[in-house]
Structure 1
Amino acid sequence: MQKFIINGGRRLRGELDLQGSKNSSLPIMAASLLCCGECMLRNCPNLTDVYAASRILNCVGCRCNFFDNNVSVDSSVVEETTVSEDLMREMRSSIIFMGAMLGRTGECTVSIPGGCELGPRPIDMHLAALRKMGVDIRDNGGSIVCKASSGRAKGAKINLAFPSVGATENIILCAVTADGETVINNAAREPEIRDLCDFLMNCGADIRNDGESRIIINGKQQLHGCEYTIMPDRIVAATYLSMVAATRGELILTNACIPEIEPFLSVLEQTGCSIYTSEKKIYLRSGSRLRAVRDRIRTMPHPGFPTDAQAVLMAAISAADGTSVFEENIFDCRYRHTDALIKMGADIQVLGKVAVVKGVEKLHGAKVEATDLRGGAAMVIAALCAEGNSEITKICHIDRGYENMEKAVSLLGGDIRRN
């Protein structure tokens, strides 16, 4: 099992080119299934989740190749409608292939990522929406067996109880080739949804109001391939900005998605950092100890503060001057990284969905274990601004969303190595 060894206490300085978005790449790769031809996806990040999506595409009969941050997918032939449980387990967001397979073949058999049985969990919104579109869905011993009753899903009016990103993506993927019009009310508005819709429209889909809370889709019989460039990753941007801010350094972030990251930047500015933006560039300077964030940091669906940035900002202000308060409103188990931060000297109290972070004078190195993707990134940030050496194990979680993190940190002057 690989791990990071980090010697903290160095100010990070330099320039980084932002990688492509993981949360755009995966649904867009799934969407390539809908295209009877070849798609070329540019700016795809070099991640284990992207490799997992490639294996799923190859499993169902597509020809998928990854090279130089480009993914080519030839989906002229789809031979298989079942995705094995082992492949589904490799990627947490693999459920998005359900909507894409239904849109292409009218049927599919998948399992819930992690092998869980069907029950009262967020995927229920996906299933309820697809049922409204004429899809028969059965639980067959842990597998989800889906089949459109007429061989093709039907357009429907769908009102989401919550603007779920995954449910919105699955509905869109199924609806673009459905029979008739689909209207999604209370759709997720995340920038990655708009990126998915832009890709699909380049492939011939009829989508209106993409990026808004009401999306209208008129199904087409067939889509065609295209060449498309994936948007930059706003959460990776938030991570490196938090990292450099925590180490009192300077960063020029190029290929940045400035409007999409504005909800995060507006909070980070409260810590006393100097932040300037120009076309596709973000410049950050943090020459002194950070200040606590005066306003409660509430994670919300876009355009609110992103839940994926909560852990990395928490790590950065663990040694800030004053007390910051977080309120997690998206996921129930999003504070699992706090135990590791506390082990490194942070003063954090968690009560339900609220975490109170009292800034300490300094953090110290420790041996910790990455609990998840963003939590692992938070531990790297804490280790880089701590005194002494830290060891972070289970960095496979980090590799799911960050392209060669140790190389990026080293480029900025950090002391990190992968063992």
Structure 2
Amino acid sequence: MTKKMIINGGHRLVGDVTIGGAKNSTVALIPAAILADTPVQFDSVPDIADVYNLQIILDSMNVDSKFEHSVLDINPTEIQEAALPSTAIKSLRASYYFMGALLGRFGRATVTFPGGDNIGPRPIDQHIKGFKALGAEVEEKDDTIFITTGPEGLHGARIFLDLVSVGATINIILAAVKAPGQTIIENAAREPEIIDIATFLNNMGAKIRGAGTDVIRIEGVPYLASRATHTIIPDRIEAGTYLSLAAAVGDGITVHNIIPEHLESFTSKMIEMGVDLKIDEDQIYVPKTDTFTPISVKTSPYPGFATDLQQPLTAALLLAGGESKIIDTIYPKRVKHIVELRRLGADIASEVEGVITVNESRNLVGGSVKAAEIRAGAALMIAGLLADGQTVIHGADHILRGYDRVVWKLTQLTADVEIIDDED
């Protein structure tokens, strides 16, 4: 049964919130764990639906996992090749990391086309290009991808990505980390989550250099052994969401467990809006802000403004005194939150693909809306907290996919919010 979030909004929030481990690291680290020749342990794992779905996929391969109190133990030593459960695969797009991980572990992989958020085209052609360069053959048939290698197996290769792709960069790393020879990925994505995954693999004996730059070099190794618990980096998207929330409805909120350098493109825009952020080494204090300046935002690959943060910030921009513009160059079709925000009284539109116009809308009224994907759900959540009266967000399952213990955290900030089964 699907879930709905009920928010009784219209009052200010205050307090402290602590950010969990990065979702976008976690959903790649879990598939990466099957490359290990020993049990592995992750700490700071977010309590989100995607983790449980990935555990279902691990279980289908006889990989034991245990998740409690933010610690995830995975034992891949008895792994067996098996058909992966299509329901779990289709529930999250990041399941495609099993392509690279299985290819690196067994030299072959069969994976159903992944699902996840519907935010426009996200092709996997660069992933396939990388696999082929490493010596694999790829066939697509009936929504399933079959990847095989000959008796020689995989080998190192030089791969130039035609466009910057986080998913392709990570998948190629996973496939190449045990492939004999040197692999060079050029025009690689530079996201902090890629550094996190490379750190995990390197601590097990991998030889990956250049993560965080646009050229990554990998020397294949035959064996990977975990030596210590890997602590996942803080989630910069969750952090940006709570910073947006704090600016919009906060009377003074401190966001803890942050790496400020990961958020510079975002916090610079908040400062431009007129929010007097107090940025410390690992936390940011957001004071009550009464007046906001309209701004223009353009998304771009890291270290630019993250596409995943355009929607949460949109809700805060409804308070700016004038017209703001958001241009999403990554996913120009990522506009499913607009019609829903309008149901709450927002003056917002997207008449040109990829361009969102946000006008001051301080008198939102609660209503019934639907979250079409994770970050759209975050925007509706913030708008619901802003709106007078009760807001019901259907499709709250999406929010649970991306936000660690969201009801508990909001309640700690004095929000009146709950998630229940949706009977509709």
Tell me if both proteins adopt one fold, taking TM over 0.5 as the criterion: yes
Scaled by the length of structure 1, the TM-score of the pair is 0.96
- Corresponding residue of 2:243: 241
TM-fit CA distance, 1:270 = 1.4
Is 1:303 the counterpart of 2:303? The answer is yes
What is the DSSP-based 3-state SS (H/G/I as helix, E as strand, rest coil) of the residue aligned with 2:127? helix
Residues 180-223 of structure 1 show CA distances to partners (whole Å, capped at 9, x for unaligned) of 10000010001101100010101110011111000000001121
Offset at residue 12 of structure 1 (A)? 1.1
Cα distance in 2 for partners of 1:290, 1:386 equals 17
Is structure 2 residue 339 aligned with structure 1 residue 333?
A: no
Cα separation, partners in 2 of 1:248 and 1:46, compared to 1, 3 Å: closer
How far apart are residue 90 of structure 1 and its match?
Answer: 2.2
Describe the superposition over 1:46-101 as per-residue Cα deviations: whole angstroms up to 9, x where unpaired: 11101111111121121111111111011112211532322311222100110000
Q: Contact between 1:103 and 1:152, CA under 8 Å: does it hold in 2?
A: no
**Secondary structure in 2 matching 1:89:** helix
The residue that corresponds to 1:54 in the other structure is: 55
1:280 is the counterpart of 2:282: yes
In structure 1, distance between residues paired with 2:85 and 2:149: 20
AA paired with 1:394?
G
AA aligned to 1:71 is L
Tell me the SS of whatever aligns to 1:416: strand
Pair 1:344-2:344 in alignment: yes
- 5+ residue gaps, structure 2, are none
Give the residue type in structure 1 aligned to 2:149. A
> RMSD in angstroms over aligned alpha carbons?
1.4
TM-score by length of 2: 0.95
Give the Å deviation of 1:250: 1.4
Q: Structure 1 residue 76 and structure 2 residue 77: aligned?
A: yes
Q: Kindly tell me: are residues 121 and 400 of structure 1, through their superposed partners in 2, closer, same or farther at Cα, counting changes over 3 Å?
A: closer
Structure 2: distance between partners of 1:281 and 1:145: 45
2:253 to 239, 243, 251: 251
Q: For residues 339 and 93 of structure 1, what CA distance do their matches in structure 2 show?
A: 27
SS at match of 2:93: coil
**Distance across 2 between alignment mates of 1:141 and 1:367:** 37
| Distance in structure 2 (CA, Å) of the matches to 1:361 and 1:233 | 29
User: How many residues are paired up?
Assistant: 413
Residues 10 and 413 in structure 1, CA contact (< 8 A), matched pair in contact too: no
Matches within 5 A, 1:174-189: 174-189=175-190
Check the 8 A contact 2:311/2:379 in 1, yes or no: yes
How many percent identity over aligned positions?
A: 37
Displacement, 1:24?
Answer: 0.6
State the alpha-carbon separation in 2 of the partners of residues 236 and 79 from structure 1. 35
- Contact kept, 8 Å, 1:82 with 1:108, in 2: the verdict is no
Alpha-carbon distance, 1:289 to partner: 3.4
Alignment correspondent of 1:85: 86
Question: What is residue 410 of structure 1 aligned with on the other side?
Answer: 411
Distance in 2 separating the partners of 1:390 and 1:114: 28
Alignment partner, residue 358 of structure 1: 359
Residue 254 (structure 2) pairs with residue 261 (structure 1): no
Deviation per CA, 1:128-176: give whole Å up to 9, x if none.
Answer: 1101110011123321111122353111110001110000010000110
Counterpart of 1:345, as a letter, is G
1:149 match: 150
Residues 319 and 362 of structure 1 are in contact (CA less than 8 Å); yes or no, is this contact kept in structure 2?
no
SS of the equivalent of 1:204 reads coil
Partners of 1:211 and 1:369 in 2: CA distance: 36
Contact persistence 2:200–2:230 (CA under 8 A): yes
Q: Distance in 2 between matches of 1:26 and 1:35?
A: 16
2:313 maps to amino acid: L
Deviation string 1:108-132 (CA, Å, 9 cap, x unpaired) is 11011139xxxx9611111111011
2:316 matched residue in structure 1: 316
The letter of the residue matching 2:331 is F
Pairing partner for 1:231 from 227, 230, 233: 233
Alpha-carbon displacement from aligned partner over 1:7-37 (angstroms, at most 9, x marks no partner): 2111111011111111011111111111011
Q: 1:9·1:385 contact (CA, 8 Å) conserved in 2?
A: yes
Q: Deviations over 1:224-267 (max 9, x none)?
A: 12420000100000011101111142111111121111111011
Q: Any unmatched runs of 5+ in structure 1?
A: none
- Verify the 8 A CA contact 2:332 2:355 in the aligned structure 1: no
Q: Map 1:98-113 to 2 at 5 A.
A: 98-113=99-114
SS at match of 1:154: coil
